[in-house]
Chains A and B, each alone.
Chain A
Amino acid sequence: GESVGLHLPTLSVQEGDNSIINCAYSNSASDYFIWYKQESGKGPQFIIDIRSNMDKRQGQRVTVLLNKTVKHLSLQIAATQPGDSAVYFCAETVMNSGYSTLTFGKGTMLLVSP
């Protein structure tokens, strides 16, 4: 669901399940997107990126899908593990805009049960 106030959307899955985390971005001019993972007490960590000339990109156990028509981004995590528990942020930017300031979404908390 949508975040309200201090409450992050939360996705609870069982270990071994596939997880899908969604993100709606705001700027139709954005052409570069990054997914970050933030574990408790740590700074965000880069997971995977995608440029707007692609609609899918795969990494190790992760896949990012981009739908520019509806300004939607998703992160799929295969065979989710307890170590995947974290808050996941999508970030967008306009390349060649002079500097690479990223606009972050509010984040989704992923909870993985053993």
Chain B
Amino acid sequence: GAGVSQSPSNKVTEKGKDVELRCDPISGHTALYWYRQSLGQGLEFLIYFQGNSAPDKSGLPSDRFSAERTGGSVSTLTIQRTQQEDSAVYLCASSLAVGSYEQYFGPGTRLTVT
């Protein structure tokens, strides 16, 4: 596609349920990043991928959060046993390579945990 796409655009889930958020990066971009943006706040780095590997998972808030990337393309961010404090916009970005600093962002997935 022309840009980074994310699905779903909105997700409402009940506390305790698991959710999967999907990111489809720009074709050919080897680096992929996940961020979380809470209401009125800046972007909180969660995890990045270089190819299929995730060298730095230190930004994940708890062990309920995990992410994977397969085929060097699509990535999924999974949140298990969701809590109300997980409510936020989850943004995905991609860049040509890890050494390329310009990151292209998707529109985000707005997650609401009730």
Complex Cα distance A6/B91, Å? 19
Contact (Cβ within 8 A) B101 A32: yes
How many residue-residue contacts, CB under 8 A, span A and B?
A: 67
Contact (Cβ within 8 A) A99 B50: yes
Q: A41 within 8 Å of B by Cβ?
A: yes
Which of these, B45, B99, B107, contacts A101 with CB under 8 Å?
Answer: B45
Contact (Cβ within 8 A) A34 B101: yes
Interface size on B, residues (CB 8 A): 28
Given contacts A34-B101, A43-B105, A45-B105, contact A101 B43 (CB under 8 A): no
Interfacial residues of chain B within 84-114, with CB under 8 A of chain A in the complex: 91, 93, 95, 98-108
Category for how many chain A residues contact B: 20 to 34
Contact (Cβ within 8 A) A8 B107: no
Contact (Cβ within 8 A) A46 B42: no
Q: B31 within 8 Å of A by Cβ?
A: yes
Which of these, A46, A93, A98, A104, contacts B43 with CB under 8 Å?
Answer: A104
Complex Cα distance A107/B91, Å? 16
Q: A102 within 8 Å of B by Cβ?
A: yes
Question: Which residue on chain A has the smallest CB distance to residue B99?
Answer: A100
Given contacts A6-B40, A89-B43, contact A100 B107 (CB under 8 A): no
23 pairs of residues in contact across A and B, judged by CB atoms under 8 Å: A5-B40, A6-B40, A8-B40, A32-B101, A34-B101, A43-B4, A43-B106, A44-B43, A45-B105, A46-B102, A89-B42, A91-B43, A98-B55, A99-B48, A99-B50, A99-B56, A100-B31, A101-B33, A102-B43, A102-B45, A104-B35, A106-B42, A107-B41
Chain B interface residues (CB < 8 Å from chain A): 4, 31, 33, 35, 39-43, 45, 48, 50, 55-56, 91, 93, 95, 98-108
